[in-house]
Every structure is written in C-alpha cells, then in structure tokens.
Amino acid sequence: MKPGIHPDYHPVVFKDSSTGDAFLTRSTATSDRTIAWSDGNTYPLVTVDISAWSHPFWTGTQRILDSAGQVEKFHRRYGQRKSGGAH
C-alpha cells in the first residue's frame, strides 16, 4: 500500500442507541467519546441509530407492504397509460 494516503484503521466500539447493545470492530470512524471494554482497554465509542439488534428486518418486526394494493390504488387514482403511439 502507498504510505500516507490511507486513513487510520483502528478498533472502535459501535453502540446501538435504542437497545444499548455494543460490539467491538475495526473501522476508520473516529469519535471524541470513549468506552471501557471488557478486555480492560478503552476504545472510541460511535453511537448508531440502527444495528442488527434493532433493525426491523433482523428482529422480525418488519411490516410487509401490500404492493399489489398500492399499484391498484395508483391505477384507480391516475388511470392506466395507453400503450403504443408517440410519447
């Protein structure tokens, strides 16, 4: 790798703000806040709004949208386009 052009890649703790779950990984993200981790070291803390612990898809609380109903509603409201001819 070319020296001096890459950002610092270091251990960082990401914490989900809604559930309080945290995980240690490596990242280029920086933060002024720090947290003491279970290994006795202190790491930068980055707070995130959504993680795998709170995302609706991964928690099983995702709503299934009725896309067919939305298409029908659109066609009722705006009508269907006629095919063929000049646009």
- For residues 58-64, average pLDDT: 64
Between 16 and 51, the higher pLDDT residue: 16
- For residues 33-58, average pLDDT: 85
DSSP notation for the chain: --TTSSPP-EEEEEEETTT--EEEEEES---S-EEE-TTS-EEEEEEES--TTT-HHHHT-PPPP-HHHHHHHHHHHH-PPPPSS--
Between 87 and 49, the higher pLDDT residue: 49
pLDDT at 58 (0 to 100): 58
User: Which pLDDT band, with edges at 50, 70 and 90, does 87 fall under?
Assistant: low
pLDDT at 73 (0 to 100): 81
